[in-house]
Amino acid sequence: AQSVTQPDIHITVSEGASLELRCNYSYGATPYLFWYVQSPGQGLQLLLKYFSGDTLVQGIKGFEAEFKRSQSSFNLRKPSVHWSDAAEYFCAVALYGQNFVFGPGTRLSVLP
């Protein structure tokens, strides 16, 4: 069955530290891959997406993600976290023409 996992329910990092949020998927083919961020009381904002080509993709707010086919992973990274990055992060996958499937989310807390 198709699935998306985010192994870390909650991550806490200090401001200025680096960040990596994990995302793994189980699909018969390589899907399109997305990361969304949801700030408290807000909707979802698209951070970045991977369709094909270069496996390292750059997004907004200084985020990047790397697609690794061999590991079925699409991990999100940021070299230096800001307090405003505290939010819920969702990985999502979709095959072309099919519905999105969202991971369970990872809540990020940032310590001053």
Partner 1 sequence: SAVISQKPSRDICQRGTSLTIQCQVDSQVTMMFWYRQQPGQSLTLIATANQGSEATYESGFVIDKFPISRPNLTFSTLTVSNMSPEDSSIYLCSVDGARDSLYNEQFFGPGTRLTVL
Q: Based on the shown chain and the rule CB under 8 A, indicate whether residue 59 belongs to the binding site for partner 1.
A: no
* Distance of alpha carbon 39 from alpha carbon 45, whole angstroms: 9
Q: Based on the shown chain and the rule CB under 8 A, indicate whether residue 46 belongs to the binding site for partner 1.
A: yes
Q: Of 13 and 100, which has the nearer Cβ to partner 1?
A: 100
Q: Based on the shown chain and the rule CB under 8 A, indicate whether residue 102 belongs to the binding site for partner 1.
A: yes
The one-character DSSP state at 16 is T
Number of other residues whose CB lies within 10 A of the CB of residue 54: 9
| Tokens describing residue 9 | 């329910």
Q: Based on the shown chain and the rule CB under 8 A, indicate whether residue 25 belongs to the binding site for partner 1.
A: no
- Least spacing, CB of residue 79 vs partner 1, in Å: 25
10 forms beta bridges with: 107
The values of phi and psi at residue 48, to 5°, are -170, 170
Q: Based on the shown chain and the rule CB under 8 A, indicate whether residue 7 belongs to the binding site for partner 1.
A: no
The one-character DSSP state at 31 is P
Q: Of 28 and 40, which has the nearer Cβ to partner 1?
A: 40
Binding site for partner 1 (CB under 8 A): 32, 34, 36, 41-46, 49, 51, 90, 94, 96-97, 99-100, 102-105
